[in-house]
C-alpha cells in the first residue's frame, strides 16, 4: 500500500452526537484553545450544568475504526475525541492540531451526515481547507472572509481619551453611561442591531427570520449580555452605541455586534464604549474578552487595539 493510501486509512474518522457521558472529554479538548473554541464550549458547559444536550448540534469526532484491508482492526467507541463540531446556524469546528488529512475526512463526513449551515466559522486554516472539500456540495459561497483577526483582552482595558470633536456637539448629545440593556430598551435597541447586521452580513434579518432574530436579542437582554448607550441625537433620545457578549464559555466572553451611530463614527465613541463594556463583562461574566474582526476593517482593528486587545490567531468565515 502506498504512503498516501496509508495516510488516508489512518485518518478516517466517525462523527456521532456527543453523549452526556462524553461532555467532560469534549470540554477538555475545547480547553486547548478556549478563545477559538468558545462556541462549542458554551454549549458543552450548558449541557454539563443542566444535563440537557443540544439535540443534534454537538458532534464528536473520533477515529472511525475503519482501516484498509491488511491494516488490522481499528479502535472502538473508546477512541479518544479528536474534535468537536458545533452545528447550529453556523458550523464551528474544534479540531486542535489536526493534520490536513483529518480535516479532509471530517469535511467529507460533514457533507454526508450534516445539513448545510448558514456559515462555516473558525480557525482559518481549518475552515478554508474544509471549504475546498465541501464547496461542490454546499457552494457557492455568498461571501468569503479568509482573514479575520482573532483578538483577546486580558486584564483591565486601556482607558481611552474622551470622544473627539465632530459635526455633532458633545454637549448636545447628553450622553448617558454605557450600561446593561433592559427589556424595556428593546424597541430602541432593535433598529441599531438591525443596522449593524445589514452592514456586517448584507441582508435585513427582519425580512429573513424576524422572529428568531428578535428572540435572540431578547434572550441576550434577559441574560444580561446586551450593552448599550443612549444619547440625544437630532433632538431624539436614541441608542448611539451597542454590543453584545454573544458567546460566553471557558472563562471567555466573545464580543459581537459592536455598533456606533453613523453620525458619531471616527470620534472615539467605539473605544470608550468597548472599554466601558469590558468593565461590565469582566466584572460579571468572564475575565477574558475576545472578538474577531475582518482584517480590512482598519478602523475597527485600531479601536480594539486602543482598548488593549491583542491578536492571538486568525479566523475565517464562509457564508453559505
CATH of the domain at 295: 3.40.630.30
Q: What pLDDT is stored for residue 31 in this prediction?
A: 98
pLDDT at 9 over 50: no
Say if residue 87 is in the same domain as residue 183: no
Say if residue 156 is in the same domain as residue 279: yes
Neighbours of 297 (CB within 10 A): 14
CA 107 to chain centre: 20
Whole-angstrom distance, CA of residue 86 vs CA of residue 89: 9
If you search the block for the grid coordinates 492571538, which residue do you land on?
312
pLDDT at 179 over 60: yes
Q: What is the mean pLDDT of the chain?
A: 91
Q: What pLDDT is stored for residue 314 in this prediction?
A: 98
Say if residue 265 is in the same domain as residue 128: no
Is residue 38, in this structure, part of any structural domain at all? yes
Say if residue 159 is in the same domain as residue 303: yes
Say if residue 205 is in the same domain as residue 302: yes
**pTM score > 0.75 for this model?**
yes
Q: What pLDDT is stored for residue 66 in this prediction?
A: 47
Whole-angstrom distance, CA of residue 47 vs CA of residue 49: 5
Q: Which of 223, 235, 238 is nearest to 190 (CA)?
A: 238
Q: What is the mean pLDDT of residues 223-249?
A: 97
Q: What pLDDT is stored for residue 209 in this prediction?
A: 87
Q: Are 16 and 224 in contact (CB under 8 A)?
A: no
Q: What pLDDT is stored for residue 7 in this prediction?
A: 44
Q: What pLDDT is stored for residue 75 in this prediction?
A: 40
Q: If pLDDT is split at 50, 70 and 90, which confidence band does 79 have?
A: confident
5/314: higher pLDDT: 314
Say if residue 183 is in the same domain as residue 123: no
Q: Which of 271, 257, 239 is nearest to 173 (CA)?
A: 239
Q: What is the mean pLDDT of residues 172-190?
A: 95
Q: Which of 283, 317, 225, 286 is nearest to 34 (CA)?
A: 286
CATH number, position 16: 3.40.630
Say if residue 228 is in the same domain as residue 136: no
Is residue 146, in this structure, part of any structural domain at all? no
pLDDT at 266 over 80: yes
Grid cell at residue 14: 466517525
Is residue 239, in this structure, part of any structural domain at all? yes
Which region among 5-19, 64-78, 127-141, 288-302 has the lowest average model confidence (pLDDT)?
64-78
> Among the three residues 101, 116, 140, which one is the final residue of a domain in this structure?
140
Q: Which of 98, 174, 125 is nearest to 313 (CA)?
A: 125
Domain count along the chain: 2
Is residue 317, in this structure, part of any structural domain at all? no
What range does the domain containing 227 cover? 152-312
Q: What pLDDT is stored for residue 73 in this prediction?
A: 36
Q: What is the mean pLDDT of residues 36-58?
A: 95
Is residue 145, in this structure, part of any structural domain at all? no
pLDDT at 97 over 90: yes
Q: What is the mean pLDDT of residues 285-307?
A: 97
Q: Is the peptide bond before 107 cis (omega within 30 degrees of 0)?
A: no
Q: Which residues contact 61 (CB under 8 A, 6 or more apart)?
A: 13, 14, 15, 81, 82, 83, 84, 85, 95, 106
Is residue 320, in this structure, part of any structural domain at all? no
Q: What pLDDT is stored for residue 172 in this prediction?
A: 80
Is residue 77, in this structure, part of any structural domain at all? yes
> Among the three residues 73, 105, 140, which one is the final residue of a domain in this structure?
140
Say if residue 88 is in the same domain as residue 129: yes
Q: If pLDDT is split at 50, 70 and 90, which confidence band does 4 have?
A: very low
Q: What pLDDT is stored for residue 65 in this prediction?
A: 58
Q: What is the mean pLDDT of residues 55-80?
A: 64
Say if residue 24 is in the same domain as residue 84: yes
Say if residue 158 is in the same domain as residue 300: yes
Q: Which residues contact 267 (CB under 8 A, 6 or more apart)?
A: 163, 164, 165, 166
Neighbours of 105 (CB within 10 A): 21
Say if residue 104 is in the same domain as residue 157: no
Q: What pLDDT is stored for residue 202 in this prediction?
A: 87
> Among the three residues 140, 169, 190, which one is the final residue of a domain in this structure?
140
Say if residue 118 is in the same domain as residue 159: no
Q: Which residues contact 145 (CB under 8 A, 6 or more apart)?
A: 294, 316, 317, 318, 319
Q: What is the mean pLDDT of residues 100-114?
A: 97
Q: What pLDDT is stored for residue 11 in this prediction?
A: 55
Q: What pLDDT is stored for residue 1 in this prediction?
A: 42
Amino acid at each position: 500500500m502506498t504512503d498516501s493510501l496509508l495516510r488516508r486509512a489512518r485518518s478516517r474518522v466517525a462523527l456521532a452526537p456527543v453523549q452526556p457521558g462524553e461532555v467532560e472529554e469534549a470540554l477538555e479538548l475545547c480547553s486547548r484553545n478556549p478563545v477559538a473554541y468558545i462556541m462549542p464550549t458554551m454549549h458543552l458547559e450548558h449541557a454539563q450544568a443542566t444535563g440537557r444536550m443540544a439535540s443534534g448540534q454537538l458532534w464528536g469526532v473520533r477515529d472511525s475504526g475503519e482501516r484498509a484491508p491488511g491494516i488490522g482492526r481499528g479502535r472502538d467507541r473508546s477512541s479518544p475525541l479528536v474534535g468537536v463540531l458545533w452545528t447550529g446556524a453556523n458550523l464551528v469546528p474544534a479540531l486542535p492540531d489536526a493534520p490536513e488529512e483529518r480535516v479532509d475526512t471530517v469535511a467529507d463526513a460533514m457533507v454526508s451526515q450534516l445539513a448545510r449551515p448558514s456559515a462555516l466559522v473558525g480557525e482559518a486554516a481549518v475552515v478554508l481547507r474544509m471549504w475546498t472539500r465541501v464547496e461542490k456540495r454546499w457552494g457557492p459561497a455568498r461571501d468569503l472572509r479568509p482573514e479575520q483577526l482573532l483578538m483577546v483582552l486580558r486584564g483591565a482595558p486601556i482607558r481611552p481619551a474622551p470622544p473627539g470633536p465632530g459635526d455633532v456637539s458633545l454637549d448636545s448629545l447628553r450622553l448617558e453611561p454605557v450600561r446593561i440593556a433592559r427589556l424595556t430598551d428593546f424597541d430602541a435597541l432593535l433598529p441599531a442591531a438591525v443596522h449593524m447586521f445589514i452592514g456586517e452580513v448584507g441582508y435585513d434579518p427582519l425580512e429573513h427570520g424576524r422572529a428568531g432574530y428578535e428572540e435572540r436579542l431578547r434572550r441576550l437582554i434577559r441574560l444580561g449580555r446586551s450593552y448599550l448607550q443612549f444619547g440625544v441625537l437630532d433632538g431624539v433620545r436614541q441608542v448611539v452605541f451597542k454590543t453584545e457578549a454573544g458567546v460566553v464559555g471557558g472563562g471567555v466572553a466573545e464580543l459581537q455586534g459592536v455598533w456606533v451611530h453613523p453620525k458619531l463614527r471616527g470620534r472615539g465613541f467605539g473605544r470608550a464604549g468597548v472599554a466601558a463594556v469590558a468593565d461590565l463583562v469582566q466584572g460579571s461574566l468572564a475575565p477574558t474578552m475576545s472578538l474577531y474582526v475582518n482584517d480590512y476593517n482598519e478602523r475597527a482593528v485600531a479601536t480594539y487595539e486602543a482598548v488593549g486587545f491583542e491578536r492571538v490567531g486568525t479566523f475565517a468565515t464562509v457564508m453559505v
